[in-house]
Structure 1
Amino acid sequence: MTIAVLAVQGAFIEHEHMLEKLGIPCIEIRKKAALSGIDGIILPGGESTVQGQLLEKLDMKEALRDMIKNGLPVLATCAGLILLAEHIGEKETPHLGTMPVTVRRNAYGRQLSSFMTTADVKGIGDYPMVFIRAPYITDMADTADSVDDCKSVPSSVTNEEHENQTHDVIILSEVDGHIVAAQYQNQIGLAFHPEMTDDTRIHQYFIDLVKMHC
């Protein structure tokens, strides 16, 4: 099993440390050729606009988009969630656009408005959340299907727990009425930074998802 971390910009080292705690080796991705043969990828927090521009410049954008659409498991945090979103606010052009959600950038304000809280993540439980200039999900695809249609959910997450969903997008967590974690098939998008805590459960959830696809 080969886990990759996009390492063109942002908090990629922190994700690597979390994987190390779980005993999972990983590789850093900075060029298109390195995408070959990976089983899962983490898109870290950072500056989504810069990351999107670098994906274009390094000729990685189309290849990565195709791999995700074809089932490559991905864990995306903060800026990574923005990269995945089909829609970003009202005007910004999407980057990878593989997750049928709309996100609002800097939804909680600038850096001084960053905060920490604890909230329930379905299938995991109470989880410490670090928000830094974070987005949140404002809208999702509006075609409802049954929970059974989402095939790529680790067994730790039950059908009963996933009653709150739209189409194949499953809401994993909300804070103050805003969606801050969701899963669409092979894609997990988080508005917060699990890599900035000592809690490895979300990364383990991702590894379990990767194992289902291997």
Structure 2
Amino acid sequence: MSTPVIGVLALQGDVREHLVALAAADAVARPVRRAEELAEIDGLVIPGGESTTMSKLAITFGLLEPLRERVRAGLPTYGTCAGMIMVADKILDGRDDQETVGGIDMIVRRNAFGRQNESFEAAVDIAGIGSGPVEGVFIRAPWVESVGGEVDVLATHQGHIVAVRQGDVLATSFHPELTGDHRVHRFFVEMVQRA
């Protein structure tokens, strides 16, 4: 299989860490800041950060509609933490003017696991990723309140959904890019290759 080119939405958040993790998972990784760069990638990561800021910047830079179009057209996309919020069709506890890219038929609650000082790490068993649990870093993390019938729940933590997939869109409420364990990124790279 050819080496996929995977972009990381570079508006705000932990862009560099995803670029490193994708490269370690055998992808060509590059930052994406402009709409025309979306045509040059085979997959996209929407990183963690602050979802309301990311939403505003996507609108300001004219990226929101092109992102929606590419995801609707089947661009494999992976959202972590704030990125999970960005790929949700609906959000709870968001700002009234907050927009999402969409792509997964789910309702996500922002900051559900608590504030910054309540951040934690936990072992998470993810369906489809072998060799034991993944260390999840939860920083002001969301959780999924509910999913539609087309959504596969891949992992839960403390009774809450923390990893999902719908078609070629993947989302985790935690940050695997901060751990040095690149299995989730490798899983996404393989999704991109199959697409």
- Give the distance between the partners of 1:101 and 1:31, measured in 2 at CA: 27
Unpaired stretches in structure 1, ≥5 consecutive residues? 142-166
CA contact (8 A) 1:80 1:189 kept: yes
- Give the distance between the partners of 2:138 and 2:110, measured in 1 at CA: 12
What residue in structure 1 maps to residue 39 of structure 2?
36
Give the drift of 1:70.
Answer: 1.1
Give the drift of 1:197.
Answer: 0.5
- Give the distance between the partners of 1:174 and 1:23, measured in 2 at CA: 27
Unpaired stretches in structure 2, ≥5 consecutive residues? none
Superposed structure 1 runs of 4+ greater than 4 Å apart: 90-93
Letter in 2 for 1:47: E
Letter in 1 for 2:134: Y
Range 127-136 or range 81-90, more displaced = 81-90
What residue in structure 1 maps to residue 74 of structure 2?
71
What residue in structure 1 maps to residue 83 of structure 2?
80
What residue in structure 2 maps to residue 144 of structure 1?
none
- Give the distance between the partners of 1:46 and 1:108, measured in 2 at CA: 15
- Scaled by the length of structure 1, the TM-score of the pair is 0.85
- Give the distance between the partners of 1:95 and 1:24, measured in 2 at CA: 26
What residue in structure 2 maps to residue 195 of structure 1?
177
Pick the structure with greater CA Rg: 1
User: Identity of paired residues, percent?
Assistant: 38
Cα-to-partner distance string for 1:77-112 (whole Å, 9 max, x where unaligned):
000000111111166444112211001101011101
SS of 2:125's equivalent? Answer: strand
What residue in structure 2 maps to residue 152 of structure 1?
none
Matched, 1:14 2:17: yes
1:58-207 to 2 correspondences below 5 Å: 58-89=61-92, 92=96, 93-124=98-129, 125-141=132-148, 167-207=149-189
Aligned residues: 188
The alignment's C-alpha RMSD in Å is 1.2
CA contact (8 A) 2:93 2:110 kept: no
CA contact (8 A) 1:84 1:98 kept: yes
- Scaled by the length of structure 2, the TM-score of the pair is 0.93
1:51 pairs, out of 46, 50, 54, with 54
- Give the distance between the partners of 1:2 and 1:58, measured in 2 at CA: 22
